[in-house]
Amino acid sequence: MDNQIISAKQAFLQLGTSAAVAFLLVLISLVSDVFAQDAKAEAQKESSFQATHLLGLPDTHPNASGSLTVEGGSLRFESSKQGAKLIPIASIQAVLLSQEDKQIGGTPMKLGKMAAPYGGGRVVSLFAHKKYDEVSLIYRDENGGIHGVLFELPSGQGINVRDALANRGARVAPQEPQKEHANSEVADPGVTDQKSGSAMGVTGKWSVQVDEVSSDDVELDPAFRVAIYENLIATLEKTNKFAQIYRSGDHRAAARDALLIMKIKVREFEAGSETKRAVTTVAGATKIKVQSQLQTRDGKIVKEDLVDANVRFFGNNMSATDKLAKNIAGHIKDAELPEAVGSVSSVARN
């Protein structure tokens, strides 16, 4: 062994100055590559966080607690009662952060505050609230449709989730809403031949595609944007008003003749504060007002409403989005829409 070391030293000295420098540069480059690979591997280690699913994941209950894990090419949410749900990181269009203050303690705490004498309930309220991070994810499904998912984490953890996703290649900057409902020519693999009559459905109902929520000059909290959209989709499905409901960007809508486009534009927004409502009883209300439109493909408005919702006293700020969705759906459910031209009539002609 000693002879081998001496021979290596002698060979190195015989290389000359230029060759020795070149050898050292190659060696440094190799070492740097090793460190870079180690750093990348360290950044991409499995990251897991305790989180609450507020809304958006298919077949997952709201307010389900579980673990949120960034691993491989997926974001996985796993709860003890409902198993694991995966979102491919490559499908994520945006990761957005916001913060929310919420009351802790439930009904007993509320009753305790009401019973506290001489304004003591207000003092209790200051200690009965806690701040949380809200991580809003926007992703596309296999049909191109937009989905929003909202997770709640302890304060300070949201940025860690965002960074973990960014390290795996997720887009973290918000993107402009896409307008693809009428432009895609990709056929719907789930729609049968229109001549059979089953493609359009002989009920004569319109189908609807719900565009992403727009706000223009109104500064809208990203969590509220996601919650408005997801609650609206879920509530519209319960009205039985439409033959099919499509998400923004879903290319299957292009195959529907009798299609309306729903546009939701936020006109007014105040995020509110649960703490302020509990402490002052007169401030901190959450308020949302939107313009709701149903349009034909060529832009003709067939239904338009100004709809609002608020939370003024007890209740989570985000509950205003559920109220808003129900109010919008209520207007539409009771509306007299024009004949769904292109459904029954087109089938009859064929």
Alpha-carbon distance of 276 to 126, in angstroms, equals 9
The CATH number of the domain where 330 resides is what? 3.30.160
pLDDT score for 200: 38
Q: Mark whether 221 and 157 lie in a shared domain.
A: no
* 104 — pLDDT class (breaks 50, 70, 90): low
Give me the residue label for tokens 């887009």: 171
Residue span of the structural domain in which 214 resides = 201-339
Domain boundary pick from 167, 188, 220: 167
Q: What angle do CA 95, 100, 106 make, to 5 degrees?
A: 130
Mean pLDDT of 267-274: 89
Q: Considering the domain boundaries, does residue 19 fall inside one? A: no
Q: Which residue has the higher pLDDT, 258 or 274?
A: 258
Indicate whether 9 pLDDT > 80.
no
Alpha-carbon distance of 148 to 96, in angstroms, equals 11
Q: Which residues contact 178 (CB under 8 A, 6 or more apart)?
A: 146, 212, 248, 249
Q: Mark whether 148 and 240 lie in a shared domain.
A: no
pLDDT score for 281: 65
3-class SS at 25? helix
User: Is this prediction's pTM over 0.85?
Assistant: no
Distances (CA, A) of 218 to 201, 230, 324: 39, 20, 17
The structure tokens listed for 97 are 């952060």
Q: Which residues contact 214 (CB under 8 A, 6 or more apart)?
A: 177, 263, 264, 265, 266
pLDDT score for 310: 93
Domain boundary pick from 167, 190, 212: 167
The sheet with strand 301-311 has its strands ordered as 245-247, 207-210, 259-270, 286-296, 301-311
Other residues' Cβ atoms within 10 Å of the Cβ of residue 204: 16
Phi, psi of 154 (to 5 degrees): -55, 150
The CATH number of the domain where 76 resides is what? 2.30.29.30
Q: Considering the domain boundaries, does residue 326 fall inside one? A: yes
pLDDT score for 274: 77
pLDDT score for 330: 95
pLDDT score for 340: 84
Indicate whether 120 pLDDT > 70.
no
Q: Mark whether 139 and 226 lie in a shared domain.
A: no
Q: Please give the single-letter amino acid code of residue 26.
A: V
* 109 — pLDDT class (breaks 50, 70, 90): very low
Average pLDDT, the chain: 78
Q: Mark whether 154 and 279 lie in a shared domain.
A: no
Other residues' Cβ atoms within 10 Å of the Cβ of residue 146: 22
Q: Mark whether 271 and 206 lie in a shared domain.
A: yes
Mean pLDDT of 90-101: 92
Of the given ranges (23-37, 135-149, 174-188, 277-291), which has the lowest mean pLDDT? 174-188
Structural domains of the chain, count = 2
Q: Mark whether 158 and 207 lie in a shared domain.
A: no
Q: Considering the domain boundaries, does residue 36 fall inside one? A: no
Q: pLDDT digits over 248-257, tens only? A: 999 999 999 8
Going along 22-169, which residue ranges are E strands?
47-55, 64-71, 74-79, 83-88, 92-103, 129-140, 146-154
* 272 — pLDDT class (breaks 50, 70, 90): confident
Q: Which residues contact 63 (CB under 8 A, 6 or more apart)?
A: 52, 53, 54
Mean pLDDT of 163-168: 94
Q: Considering the domain boundaries, does residue 27 fall inside one? A: no
Q: Considering the domain boundaries, does residue 161 fall inside one? A: yes
Indicate whether 114 pLDDT > 50.
no
* Helix H or strand E segment including 209: strand 207-210
